[in-house]
Amino acid sequence: MSNPNARGGVAVRIQQLLVLLVLLAVMLAVTHLSSGMEGAFGTLTAIGFLLLGGTLASELLEPLKVPHLTAYIVAGAVAGPYALHLLDHETVERLSSVNTLAIALIALAGGAELRLEQLQKSLRTLLVASGMQTFFLLSSMATVFVLVRPLLPFTAGLPLAEVCGLGLMWGVLAITRSPSATLGIMAQTRAKGPVMDFTLAFVMSSDVMVIVVLAVVMTLTKPLFEPGATLSMAAFAHLGHEILGSISLGTTLGLVLSVYLRFVDRQLLPVLLLLGLGFTEVVRYLNFEPLLTFLVAGFIVQNLSKQGDKFLHALEGAGSVVYVIFFAGAGAHLQLPLLKTLWPVALILCGSRAFLTMVGHRLSTRITKDPPVLRRWGWSGLVSQAGIALGIGAMMERALPVYGTSVRALVIATVAINEVVGPIFFKLVLDRLGESAPEAEAEPAAPEPTSNDGQAAHT
C-alpha cells in the first residue's frame, strides 16, 4: 500500500521551497530590472505568480494544518506592495476582474450548497441564531466601540451622540461574515457534520440580513453626521427594490441555468465566465445586489432541478484556479503598515467580537435546545470576515467625509486579523471534531473562498 503522506515528504517540501525561492528571485529581477509591470503583461504576470506562489505556499504550510486560503493570503501579503513589492498597487487593482468572477462563483456555489430539506430541518435554529447574532452582536459591539473611544484619535471632540452613531455602524460591520472563507475551508476539508452544515447555512443566508440592517442603520444615523439631514423613507423603498429585484433576477437566472444544464450541458466554463464577468455588471447596472442574485440562482438550480450536483462539480472546476488568485490578491491588498499602527485597538475589537459571537451563539442554541457539539462549537465558523466588511468600510468612508479615512483604516486592520485568524480557528475545530474528511479524500481542491469577499464587497 502506498503511503498517503508521501506527497508531503521532506524531499518534496524541499523541492517546493526551492521552486518558491526561484520564483521569488525571478519576480525580484523582473520588477527591479524593468520599468514595471504594466498593462496586460503585468496583469498576466501577477496572475501567474499569485497562482504558483500561493499554491506552493499552501503545500509548504500544509504540515502545520494551516488552511490553504490562509496560505494564499500570506503569499499575497508577502509579495504585495507593503512587503517585497513584487506587485505594485496598480497591478493589484487590475486584478479586480478576478475578484468579480470569484465572488460570482462563491455566491453560486454557496446557493447550490443550500439544500431545502436541510434548511427545513434547521429552520428554527437558523432564525433564532440570525436574530441573536444580528441584534445582540450589533448592540454589544456598538457599546464596545463607544467604550474604546479614548483609544481612537478620530473620536476626540466628537459629541457622544455622533460616537454612538459610529458605534451602530461598527455594529453592522461586526455582524458580517465571510462566505468565501466558509466555502474555502469546506472545499479543502470536504467537511460534513452539524457544525459545518450550520455554518454554511447561516453564513450564506446572513448576507440578506446584513443588507437590510445596513440600509436601516445608515438611514437612522445619517442625521447625526449631516446637519439638517432628516429621516427619509426613500432609502427603505430602494432597499425593497434591491432585495425583491435581486431575488427575482436570481430566480430567473437559476431556471435558465437549470434548463441549460439539462438540455445542453456543454461549454460550462465559458458560461460561468460570462456570468461572473459580464452578468455581474448587468446586475449592478440594475441596482441589484450581485451576491444575493447569484446566491438565489445557485439555490434554484440545486432545489428546483436535478442538476445541482452537476452544477457544483462545474463550479469546483472553474473556481479551482480563480480562488487561489482571489485570496492571494486579498493578501496583497492587506495594508500592513496600518495593521502595525492600529493593532492594539484592532485586537480589542476583534477579541470582543469573537467573544460576543460565542456568547450570542450559546444563548441562541440554548433557546433552541441544539445538540451539545453545536452549542459549543457552532460559532467557530462565524469569526472570519472579508469583502463585505471591506465594502461597508468603504461606505462608511464616503458617509463620513471628515474622518472617514481613519474609520476605514481601522476597518481594514480588524478585517485583516479576522481574515487570517478566523479560517485557521474554524479548520482546527472541524479537524478536532472529526468533521473534516480523511486526508486522502480532502485533497486540496483549490480554495474557495472573500472581499468583494479582498475586495469582495459589493464585494
Q: Which of 87-91, 306-310, 420-424 has the lowest mean pLDDT?
A: 87-91
Neighbours of 333 (CB within 10 A): 25
Between these two residues, 371 and 228, which has the higher pLDDT value?
A: 371
Residue at 219 is within a domain: yes
Task: Give dist(CA 93, CA 81) in Å, integer.
Answer: 11
Please give the pLDDT value at position 448: 43
Nearest to 339 by CA among 327, 329, 328, 349: 349
Q: What is the CATH number of the domain that holds 213?
A: 1.20.1530.20
Query: How confident is the model at residue 359, as a pLDDT?
Result: 95
Residue 76 is assigned to a structural domain of this protein = no
As a whole number of angstroms, the distance between CA 281 and CA 306 comes to: 29
**pLDDT confidence bin for 253, thresholds 50/70/90:** very high
Distance CA 98, CA 370 (A): 40
Residue 1 falls within a domain, yes or no?
A: no
Of the candidates 94, 114, 103, the one whose C-alpha atom is nearest the C-alpha of residue 43 is 94
CB 394 within 8 A of CB 459: no
Query: Has residue 457 got a pLDDT over 50?
Result: no
* CA 33, chain centre distance (Å): 36
Place of cell 459545518: 196
Q: Which residue shows C-alpha cell 467580537? A: 353
In a domain, 117, yes or no: yes
Work out the percent of the chain whose per-residue pLDDT is above 70.
88
- The three cell numbers of residue 138 are 450589533
Residues 287-326: tens digit of each pLDDT: 888 878 888 999 999 999 888 888 888 887 776 777 788 7
Query: Which residue is it, cell 486526508?
Result: 439
Please indicate, yes or no, if residue 54 is contained in any of the structural domains. no
Q: Is residue 47 in some structural domain? A: no
| Predicted confidence band of residue 138 (pLDDT cuts 50, 70, 90) | very high
Q: Which of 449, 436, 342 is nearest to 388 (CA)?
A: 449
The confidence band for 4, taking pLDDT boundaries of 50, 70 and 90, is: very low
Nearest Cα residue to 347 out of 177, 134, 176, 148: 148
| Number of structural domains found in the chain | 1
pLDDT at 167 exceeding the cut of 80: yes
| Residue 348: per-residue pLDDT | 94
Look at the alpha carbons of 259, 260, 263, 269 in this order and tell me if their dihedral is positive or negative.
negative
Whether pLDDT at 281 is above 50: yes
DSSP helix/strand/coil, 191:
coil
Domain range for 201: 104-433
Is 0.95 topped by the overall pTM? no
> What percent of the chain is modeled with pLDDT above 90?
20
pLDDT of residue 454: 40
Q: Give CA–CA dist 217/164, Å, rounded.
A: 12
Note whether residue 26 is domain-resident.
Answer: no
Q: Mean pLDDT for the chain? A: 81
Domain membership flag for residue 420: yes
Q: Extract the C-alpha cell encoding 77.
A: 501579503
| Ordered DSSP codes for 436-447 | SPPTTTS-----
